[in-house]
Every structure is written in structure tokens, then in C-alpha cells.
Structure 1
């Protein structure tokens, strides 16, 4: 078995366990995958409270942003959520796309698909469906999707360029995505990079921010916009599982930063009522012009 498949199996096994955990336990850990921290605060996730379409039972506390807040979903759109979990972001997207639209959630963990389908059935949603499959080989036809969203998932996939290629394939010309994810600035300590549990916990699988944005640009996406960015702090009791006390001190004062970012980009082409970019969304310093992403 190759390394990529081994990592996928680690993620699938761990997220099958997460499907049975509560939001509080997941939110106190690193994307729900590591042991909960004794510091009681959410490491990654943003607060969905008050968001239209929110279903508490479908919120497992696994996200690192609010991509749908920035996704410019219009009534009647077909929306795909990558790594849909128990369905939380799908149900919020459904509120935006309306009864005339359609939302498809994709997840490769059977326990998550089962949980999401049960939630959709309980709500009586006929225009939300969940498909089991890998997001680097989506069970979706070419050029059929208006909007793609994802919340803290691409960092879990070994071949991120392949996922970005799949996003480009399934989007309609003029379609777009808004994706929240974890990225790095600087190098992680080797112990964090090599640990499978930390990989499943989002951090060890993250790549450099400039590489992430470059992959999107190289695939041919246009109008790449960094819509939101926030630093992520890993509590010392979690870091202590992987690093010595001295290494934790050096890590916290060093040049390495772990960030949650929300990125927007469009596929080349045109479609009716194509969403417009608000130039004020890209704040100074959000995106490095030297990377060519802006």
C-alpha cells in the first residue's frame, strides 16, 4: 500500500470515529481528530450561531471557517460541498440556493454519509443529496456545478493538486468556489509532519500558503481572492505530545504560522448573473502579490 492510500485510510478511520463524537469534544481538539485539549476553547472552528439554515445536530465542530458566508450562492444554483460530514454546510447552502437549487455533499466516510442522510431525511429536504466518494475523484459530471464550498478538508487530502483539478473539471464555465482550509507559513517541526494522528487533525497535512494559492492559479482559475485569514494556535498540551518542552517554546516563538484561510476563485468562462468580486474583500497583506495570486 502506498503512502497516499495509507494517509487516506488514517483519515477515513478517524473520521468514522468522529461521526460518533459530540461537537464539544471535536471542537476542543484539532479538527476533532486529536485528543481534546484541556484548554477549553475551539482551536479551529468559527461560530455558526445565527446562520440561516444551521442545524446543530449536523455541526460536528470540524470546520475552520464559514465558507458559505463568502460563497456568493444564488437562488437556483447547484452547489457541491467537499467533505460534507454530517451535512451542516450543505443545509446552510440549501438556504441560499432555495428550493429551485440543488446541493450535493461528497464524503468518503460511510458513517458520515449515513449521518448526513439521516439529518436530511429528518428535515424533509428533497434537494440535498449525499454521495460517497473521494474528492480527488468526484462522483460528479463535468461542467455541472455553479458553486463549490469546502470547510477544512483539502488539507486532509495527500494530492491537493488533483482535488483542485477535479474542482475545475466539475465547475461550469464562470462557476466559482469558496473554500476554507488550513495552510502554513514556514516549516512544521518534523515530529508534527510525520505523525499520522496530527495529519488527520488537519495540521500535518497542510501545505505552504503560497503553494496552495499557486496550485489554484496554475490550474487556470481567475480572480483568486483571499476572503478571510486568521491565525490558529495549537495548545501546548497538544504540542507536548509531539515536541519536547524546549521544542514547544521554540515553535511558539518561531517563524512558523498556522492559518485558516478562505479562498475564492472563478473558472474561466461566462454564465448568466455571474457573481461579482467586491474589491474591498481583498485586504492589504491578505495575499502576497509576488506569488501571482492576485
Structure 2
């Protein structure tokens, strides 16, 4: 098995981060989707029916600020995370904050939710949404998911929605996730994965990466990286087909840090 992350040199990784940051900065300011072909200046709102198709409920749309849902996900990580009152939750790549606000509802006033995003425009949008929300237990931090601005062993549950595939160093992301989780803490991620290795022209295509397909790791790679990071009870459950032309599926990625 080829470790696709380690084959990338620093320049390529930095270029990828810059390209992703620029694209998602545009999404944050215009409301356009990561997969839109429309003009970037167009203000496109998330389609509620698309959000519902990903596993969210109508109540979810009612209980989060309207501007927080940008329609960028590929699943519903909050639904698979089994959050409990009082927990501390970390969202990797929190975007406009949609999943953070839903998680805040689950953990209650005694809990805490932290969203991390590397895009300043997304952070500004999320913080504005927090001001407009009823939740005072949500905060947003600027940072890369490969270098989390979070202390060791301080998080009960990590969620993420179609973001890890965007990282040029997914192994590092999982190592960082393990570091910040408390013993017994859990990982509950919705993401896109590849059922077989992708052609190099897709993996190196910045537009394919921004569309969340070019950077999709294989299931075998993710299982290996989870185990290498120290996680146990790792599982990757395919939820459905995602791309008609590529071997890409939506999946739940779950694991636990040993007690």
C-alpha cells in the first residue's frame, strides 16, 4: 500500500493548503458551494433538501443560525457521535459553525464546543453566527487541523464533516486528534473515502481536491493511520455512493482513544 500523504513534499502540501484556504474563503464570503460551477460572486444559499438528504432533521435547520449552513458536508457527524450533556466537543474544519451549534444543543449549557478552521473568512462568519445564536458555549479558533490549537487530553468527542480529505497530511490530523482526546474519547467523522486508489491526475488536481474527491484516502490507508495513531475500535462504514465517475463514497469514520 502506498502512503499517499508521505509522498507529498512540503511545497506541494503548502500549495494545497493555500488553494483550499483561498477557495473556502470565497465560499465563506459568497455562500457558494465547494462544488459550484457558478460565478464566485453569486450568493448561493445551501439547499435545505440537500442538507436533509445528508441525514439532518428539519429541527436541525431551525436550531442553528441560517448563515451557518453552507451545504458543505457529506453526512451528519453529530448524529453518529452520541454526544452527552457536559461533554467537550471539537469540530475539525468547522466552517460556518453549523455542526458546532447542533453539538452545543446536545451537550447543553454545562458542555463546550470548539470549532477550528484555517480560513479567516470562515472564522469571521462562524463568530458572527455565534453572536446571533442562543449558544454561549461555542467558540471558534483559527488553526490548521494538522496543528490543533487545543491542549492535550481536553476533548471528549471529535467531529468533522467532509474536511479531513482536504488535508495533505491526514496521518498528522489523526495523530493530533489522538493527542487532544481524553482517554476514552471518541472520533466521529463524516467524510469521503476512496474504495480504490485514485489516478494521479485526480490526486494532483487542485480543483478535484477542493471538490473533496481528489484528496480522499483509501479505506485501507485510513484504517492503518487510525491504528498507527493509537486508536482502537476503528471502523469505516460506507454510507453511499458519491461520484458517478470516481470510486468515491461517503463514509462514517469512528474510533476511540483507549482508557
- TM-score, scaled to structure 1: 0.76
Q: CA deviation at 1:51?
A: 4.2
2:58 pairs with one of 50, 68, 78: 50
Matched, 1:266 2:256: yes
The Cα offsets for residues 123-152 of structure 1, whole Å up to 9 and x where unpaired, read as 142210000000100000000000000000
Q: Distance in 2 between matches of 1:228 and 1:208?
A: 12
Q: Distance in 2 between matches of 1:125 and 1:54?
A: 10
Partner of 1:282: none
Q: CA deviation at 1:233?
A: 2.1
Question: May I ask how many residue pairs the two structures share in their alignment?
Answer: 238
Q: CA deviation at 1:57?
A: 2.0
What root-mean-square deviation, in Å, do the aligned CA atoms of Structure 1 and Structure 2 show? Answer: 2.0
Q: Distance in 2 between matches of 1:60 and 1:35?
A: 15
1:202 pairs with one of 212, 217, 234: 212
Partner of 1:176: 186
Q: Distance in 2 between matches of 1:115 and 1:109?
A: 10
Q: Which structure 2 segments of 5+ residues have no match?
A: 1-9, 39-46
Partner of 1:150: 160
SS in 2 for 1:111: helix
Partner of 1:116: 126
Q: Distance in 1 between matches of 2:59 and 2:176?
A: 29
1:104/1:131 contact within 8 Å kept = yes
SS in 2 for 1:6: helix
What are the residue-to-residue correspondences of 1:219-238 with 2, within 5 Å? Answer: 219-234=229-244
Q: CA deviation at 1:228?
A: 4.9
Partner of 1:21: 30
- TM-score, scaled to structure 2: 0.86
Partner of 2:108: 98
Q: Distance in 2 between matches of 1:161 and 1:195?
A: 20
Q: CA deviation at 1:158?
A: 0.3
SS in 2 for 1:115: helix
Q: 1:158 to 1:17 in 2, by over 3 A?
A: same
Q: Distance in 2 between matches of 1:119 and 1:150?
A: 18
Partner of 2:41: none
Q: Distance in 2 between matches of 1:224 and 1:50?
A: 30
Between structure 1 and structure 2, the one with the greater Rg is 1
